[in-house]
């Protein structure tokens, strides 16, 4: 129950800096060197464990060898030890998490950090204090191997003074380790833990529209120009355009509609609306902006402004952060739900709900394949591969390492009564622990 106690404790801490310090103590307790790095008043945690793998080889041999009863068996054990040692590699795994959370809000039916109905309740239980605690528990089972950890204090906000600032600081001081693979603990699971592994992100375009009209009495609309009507019609037009022209590639959600004339019998002269579009690599932000601007031109008085929050990207599985999927002949493969190999193709986003990626890729030593195998070992099922979901700090590490996101179920993230099932925590621990166990072994599955 230590994990329940630790998660409840960190959930009860609403101050991000205090949560960072609690995580700092947790990592120091398992023999990590830690450092709290502050940028523009934002605290972040950097923790690192540099460990020789000789003891790991001995442990492997002790688990697989029979008692030594003869000189012959002694020689056999020595041979096995050498084989295991040669199979171990000094890779470095980077784990990314964040301690900051969105505001708690009102209307909760459970106290923060409360254990009830087989769940731990509170802001950050899912996104993503829970996954950090799970990773710490998995590290306890795997005490050796090079592991770097960045716990950001600025992921839910501007994301300027968290992970990117830590990476830049470490690089400027020549302390940034070579990272072979990055694991991000964002909530990616849906129906069960591990059913989805995220290896990229859709683009995100924020659009704000302002309609200018002329105020007047609602009883005499012929002498007015209703700004609210204009902005609503514009929003509906863009939404319909996305659903038809960009069906499957784009998803639009209206985020705000504001119009207040100050009285119930006055037509508003100004109205504002906002929306967000998530788009795949098959569409560009510039293309969307041009189309939306053209639509706005059909509505007199409507002005639009754009902010590209994120451009679409996918994991550079070649280990060089260049993005894109490995082609056939380079070790890439897909696995169907029954485990059968399926030819890899360029349209993997379209296959995200049908197949998962094994990626026995020679260039990255099959590290993503090891993660997929870890999910399979813990759940009995293969995960799907996807680039859907929310934006994350993955965009900051894609230039230095291959990566994947895998965490808890996202259903209650950012909601009132956010909670995580205790059984989900233990399931994620098993996946993380299996991945850590296999990560430093230079073999296949």
Helix (H, G, I), strand (E, B) or coil at 385: strand
How many Cβ atoms sit within 10 Å of the Cβ of residue 441? 18
Tell me whether residue 23 is in a domain.
Answer: yes
- Do residues 373 and 231 share a domain? no
- Do residues 14 and 128 share a domain? yes
Structure confidence by residue, pLDDT tens digits, 383-433: 888 888 878 899 899 888 889 999 999 999 999 999 999 999 999 999 999
- Do residues 48 and 95 share a domain? yes
The pLDDT of residue 322 is above 60: no
Structure confidence by residue, pLDDT tens digits, 58-101: 454 444 444 444 454 455 445 444 544 545 678 899 999 999 99
Residue 360 vs residues 60, 315, 321, 342: alpha-carbon distances, Å: 24, 15, 17, 13
- Do residues 419 and 320 share a domain? yes
The strand pairing partners of 279, in sequence order, are 203, 250
Range of the domain at 254: 203-310
Residue 174 φ/ψ, nearest 5 degrees: 55, 40
Residues designated as active site: 100, 155
Tell me whether residue 211 is in a domain.
Answer: yes
- Do residues 173 and 223 share a domain? no
Strands 302-310, 203-212: pairing is antiparallel
Tell me whether residue 300 is in a domain.
Answer: yes
Helix (H, G, I), strand (E, B) or coil at 170: helix
- Do residues 9 and 147 share a domain? yes
Structure confidence by residue, pLDDT tens digits, 199-224: 888 899 999 999 999 999 999 999 99
Q: Is the pTM of this model over 0.85?
A: no
Domain end call among 241, 276, 310: 310
- Do residues 251 and 112 share a domain? no
- Do residues 244 and 212 share a domain? yes
Tell me whether residue 58 is in a domain.
Answer: no
- Do residues 366 and 303 share a domain? no
**How far does CA 419 lie from the centroid of its chain?**
18
Domains contained in the chain, number:
2
3-state secondary structure 53-121: CHHHHHHHHHHHCCCCCCHHHHHHHHHHHHHHHHHECCCEEEEEEECCCCCCCCCCCCCCCEEECCEEE
- Do residues 389 and 301 share a domain? no
Residue 396 maps to which CATH number?
A: 3.40.630.10
CA atoms lying within 13 Å on the CB side of residue 239: 14
Tell me whether residue 149 is in a domain.
Answer: yes
- Do residues 158 and 222 share a domain? no
Residue 247 maps to which CATH number?
A: 3.30.70.360
């Amino acid at each position: 129950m230590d994990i329940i106690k630790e998660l409840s404790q960190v959930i009860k801490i609403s101050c991000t800096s205090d949560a960072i310090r609690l995580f700092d103590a947790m990592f120091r307790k398992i023999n990590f060197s830690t450092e709290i790095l502050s940028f523009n008043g934002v605290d972040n945690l950097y923790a690192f464990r540099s460990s020789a793998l000789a003891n790991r080889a001995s442990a492997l041999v002790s688990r697989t060898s029979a008692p030594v009863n003869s000189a012959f068996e002694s020689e056999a054990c020595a041979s096995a030890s050498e084989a295991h040692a040669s199979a171990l590699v000094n890779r470095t795994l980077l784990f990314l998490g964040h301690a900051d959370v969105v505001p708690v809000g009102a209307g909760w039916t459970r106290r923060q950090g409360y254990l009830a109905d087989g769940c731990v309740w509170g802001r950050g239980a899912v996104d993503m204090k829970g996954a950090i605690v799970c990773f710490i528990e998995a590290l306890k089972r795997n005490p050796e191997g090079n592991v770097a950890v960045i716990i950001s204090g600025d992921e839910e906000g501007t994301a300027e003074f968290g992970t990117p600032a830590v990476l830049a600081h470490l690089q400027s001081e020549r302390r940034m380790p070579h990272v072979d693979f990055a694991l991000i603990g964002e909530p990616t699971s849906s129906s069960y833990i591990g059913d989805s592994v995220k290896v990229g992100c859709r683009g995100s375009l924020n659009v704000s529209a302002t309609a200018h009209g002329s105020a007047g009495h609602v009883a005499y609309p012929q002498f007015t120009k209703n700004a609210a009507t204009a902005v609503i019609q514009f929003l509906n037009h863009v939404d319909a355009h996305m659903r038809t022209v960009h069906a499957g590639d784009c998803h639009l959600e209206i985020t705000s509609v504001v119009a207040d004339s100050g009285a119930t019998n006055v037509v508003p002269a100004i109205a504002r609306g906002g929306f967000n579009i998530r788009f795949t690599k098959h569409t560009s932000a510039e293309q969307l902006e041009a189309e939306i601007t053209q639509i706005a031109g059909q509505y007199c008085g409507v002005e639009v402004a754009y902010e590209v929050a994120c451009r679409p990207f996918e994991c550079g599985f070649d280990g060089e952060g260049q993005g894109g999927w490995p082609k056939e002949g380079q070790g890439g493969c897909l696995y169907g739900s029954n485990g059968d190999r399926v030819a890899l193709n360029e349209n993997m986003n379209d296959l995200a709900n049908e197949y998962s990626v094994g990626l026995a890729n020679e260039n990255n030593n099959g590290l993503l394949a090891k993660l997929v195998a870890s999910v399979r070992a813990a759940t009995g099922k293969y995960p799907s591969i996807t680039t859907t979901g929310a934006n994350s700090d993955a965009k900051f590490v894609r230039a230095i390492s291959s990566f994947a996101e895998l965490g808890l179920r996202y259903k209650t993230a950012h909601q009132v009564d956010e909670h995580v099932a205790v059984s989900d925590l233990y399931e994620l621990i098993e996946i993380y622990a299996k991945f850590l166990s296999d990560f430093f072994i230079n073999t296949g599955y």
